[in-house]
Amino acid sequence: MGRGRAKAKQTKVARDLKYRTHETDFGALANELHGDSGTKDEQVDPEVLEKWSDVIEPSRD
């Protein structure tokens, strides 16, 4: 009882995924799955670094 709205939402999402055409970038997917970073420089945002600085262990030089 009470599952009607949740089930309707799941059905809507499932139909959308099944019938909508997707433009998939398989090259980007392969890079993500294989861990290739490519030419991107991943830098940590200073705000995130400050927020999590007490959790992150300091690097030992």
Per-residue pLDDT 10s for the chain (61 aa) are: 678 899 999 999 999 988 887 788 888 888 888 886 655 556 778 888 788 777 766 665 5
Return the amino acid letter for 54: D
Rounding to the nearest 10 degrees, give the CA dihedral for residues 5, 8, 13, 16.
-140
Asked if 38 and 31 count as a contact pair (C-beta separation under 8 A), the reply is yes
pLDDT of 61: 53
pLDDT of 42: 66
SS3 content of the chain, % helix, strand, coil (to 5): 50, 0, 50
Return the amino acid letter for 10: Q
- pTM for the model stands at 0.34
pLDDT of 15: 93
DSSP-assigned letter for residue 55: T
pLDDT of 39: 55
**CA 39 to chain CA mean position, Å:** 19
